[in-house]
Each structure stands twice: as C-alpha cells, then as structure tokens.
Amino acid sequence: MDHKELAERIRVVAPGTQLRFALDKIVAANTGALIFLVDDFEKYKDLMQVGFFLNCPFNPNKLYELSKMDGAIVVDESLNKIIAANVQLTPDPSIPSLQTGMRHRTAERMARQTGKMLLAISKRQGTITIFFGENSHVLAPVEILLPRVNQVIRTVEQYRQTFAYGLDQIDVLERASVLTLYDVLKTLEKGLMVLLISKEAELTLVELGKFGLPSRMQLDEITDGIPEEIENLVLDFAKEQVTIDKIEELMEKLLSLTEREISNYVTLARVLGYDISSSSQAMELNMRSRGIRFVRKIPKIPLQVALNVGAKYGSLARLLKTSVEELKEVEGVGEKRARAIRHAIDIHNKREELE
C-alpha cells in the first residue's frame, strides 16, 4: 500500500474523529475489540455469523459499550451506522497469517479475503492495528509521534536554510562568472530534500490527527515557495530550455526521486539533460542562467512570457543590458511589462553597485 492510500485509512481513525474517541475508550477499558468496516453488509454476510443485528445510527459511546460483548462489531464504512454486534467472522482459514492472537489472525485473513478495513484492538497490549487488503499498520501513541514530527521539522528547517543560501550563492557565483553545474545541483538537492522529508512526514501528521495541526502549519510555512524555486532552477539551468508543456513532466520526475537518487548528482544532472558520468564533470561545466528566475519574480509576469524572455536573451547577463524597446520585441511583452522588467533590472543593478 502506498503512503497516500494508507493515509486515507489512518485518517478514518485519527485523533479527533468519533471513531478514534471510541477506540481510545476501548483501549482504556482494556476490553479489546474487532471492528469490521463494510460498504455493503450483504456482500459479506456469508463470512459472518451475526449475534445481534442492530442497524442503528453510529455513536462512539454505543460502539464502546458493544465492544464489551464477544465477537466483532460490523460498522458501515461511512460511519453512519452500526450494523451488527456479537458477530463471529469466518474467513477462509487457509489464508496465511503472520499474526499470533486469534483476534488479529481473524482480522488479517478477513482483510485479505474481502479487501476491506478491519480494526483490531489488543486487550493485552492496548494497541490499535489497521488491516486493509494485504497490509497492516499499528497506530503509534501520540507521545511517540510528536517528538518524531518535531525532529522532522528541525531537519526540514535546516535544509530550507541551506537551500536559501544556495540560491544566494548561485547569484553571487554567476556574477563572478564562476558558477558551475555542480553548484546548481548542490542547491537543487537541498530543495528536493525539503519536499521529500516533508512528504514522508505526511503519514505521521495524518496519524496525529488534531494533535498534528500545529506541526502541519509549521511544515507548510517552511515549504512555502520551494516547488516554485525548484521549477525556476530547472527552467534556468536545464541543458535545453524547457517548454511550458514539458515543465510539469520534468517536475514530476524530479519530485518522484528517492533520497538516494537526489543525493546522486549524476542522476540529477541527467534529469536536467546533461550527459555526465561523475560529479567532477559537473564541476567543470560553467553555467549561466537564462534569466527566467529573475523575470518570474516580477509581479504579474506569466510563465510563458518569462520563457519567451529567456529564449530571446539566453542569459541573465544579456537581459540586464537590455532596453524597454528591445523587451517589447519579445512575444507577450508590451509597454507595461517591458517597463516593469526594466525597473526590476534597474533595482538589481543599483543593488549590485551598493554591494
């Protein structure tokens, strides 16, 4: 099961939901329980021997009280109804199971046979296990998850700071005409790691439910603008200028890389179109930006116009020497946009003089 699918299952039982309220009460009471969530009771009735058919509105307190009875509880997966209680589930016993307890073995086999979600609450260990299809996941206590996500936030912040420093260094090195592909890849790596680590923290945040909201807000703030900055690096430094219809595909390829692939500069370089076989080769390739990142930071300049500017001038150095009249020759650039770009160039040049 991929993270997205597992996250959807965990979200159903996350802290703050009515179902989790009932599960926590069951754990505290040390009764144990087995809950079967179904979309259509009739589809699975041959795998059940029903003690009490209820078909009553879902209520967490009712679910808790019913858990004191032997057998499983069958609940509508939309959590609108409690369908039955004191139910004996009878999955195919030949289905292999790695679980040891009877309740968990039944849940695993039932999940594999039906493809539906079951929740097994251990009476002895006080744990909640989700079974779904061929997969299982044990929910961790909030007191374990919070330190874990806080560590993730600290790591992401460090990568974010290093990424911001790298972007500044790219500008400095380009002005000194000593920028290399290696410098670009090193910065790109840090930006991709920010997004990768944040993505991997998503499952923990979902599992934290309402307790993860402050951490989610922190991560959202830290990662704000990172995808756009990565996209700008790609547009500025890919070997061939990327067209507007190809940038999404290229970004998807970058964002799907694993941690190991991201840390391999040869892999990153090849995604950008450079045919190199070692990082030392990247150090030997001098780079200059197309000026697309510079133009995209100017308000109300569409992506296609920024690409058109990059295609005409080819480098930021040439763009910084242009005039309003020359800019108006670029497709999509009229008087207003030309003056806005020239104004940004003037501010940039004055800042360089002061430095």
Nearest to 16 by CA among 207, 149, 206, 209: 209
What are the φ and ψ backbone dihedral angles of 118, each rounded to 5 degrees? -125, 150
What are the φ and ψ backbone dihedral angles of 34, each rounded to 5 degrees? -135, 120
Which spans in the chain are helix H?
Answer: 3-12, 18-29, 60-66, 102-114, 142-175, 181-200, 202-208, 213-223, 226-237, 247-255, 259-262, 265-271, 279-284, 292-296, 303-313, 316-319, 324-327, 335-354
What are the φ and ψ backbone dihedral angles of 36, each rounded to 5 degrees? -110, 115
High-pLDDT (> 90) share of the chain, %: 93
Tens digit of each residue's pLDDT (9 = 90 or more) over 64-112 = 999 999 999 999 999 999 999 999 999 999 999 989 889 999 999 999 9
Q: Which residues pair with 72 in a beta bridge?
A: 87
326, 327, 328, 330 alpha-carbon torsion, rounded to 10°: 110
Q: Say which residues have a Cβ less than 8 Å from residue 36's Cβ, sequence separation at least 6.
A: 44, 48, 72, 73, 74, 75, 87, 89, 110, 116, 118
Phi-psi region of 79 (alpha: psi -120 to 50; beta: other; left: phi over 0): left
Distance from C-alpha of 102 to C-alpha of 81, rounded to nearest angstrom: 26
pTM of the model: 0.86
Interhelix angle 181-200/213-223, nearest 10 degrees = 160
Check residue 1 and give its pLDDT. Answer: 56
Give the tokens for residue 189: 């790596």
Q: Say which residues have a Cβ less than 8 Å from residue 57's Cβ, sequence separation at least 6.
A: 80, 81, 82
Q: Which residues pair with 53 in a beta bridge?
A: 84
For residue 195, give the 3-state DSSP assignment.
helix
Is residue 82 a contact partner of residue 75, using CB atoms and an 8 Å limit? Answer: yes
Tens digit of each residue's pLDDT (9 = 90 or more) over 171-185 = 999 999 999 999 999
Rounded average pLDDT over 53-71: 96
Distance from C-alpha of 184 to C-alpha of 166, rounded to nearest angstrom: 8
Tens digit of each residue's pLDDT (9 = 90 or more) over 140-149 = 999 999 999 9
Domains and CATH numbers, the chain: 3-139 (3.40.1700.10), 140-289 (1.20.1260.110), 290-355 (1.10.150.20)
Q: Say which residues have a Cβ less than 8 Å from residue 102's Cβ, sequence separation at least 6.
A: none
Report whether pLDDT(233) > 80: yes
Report whether pLDDT(355) > 70: no
Report whether pLDDT(205) > 70: yes
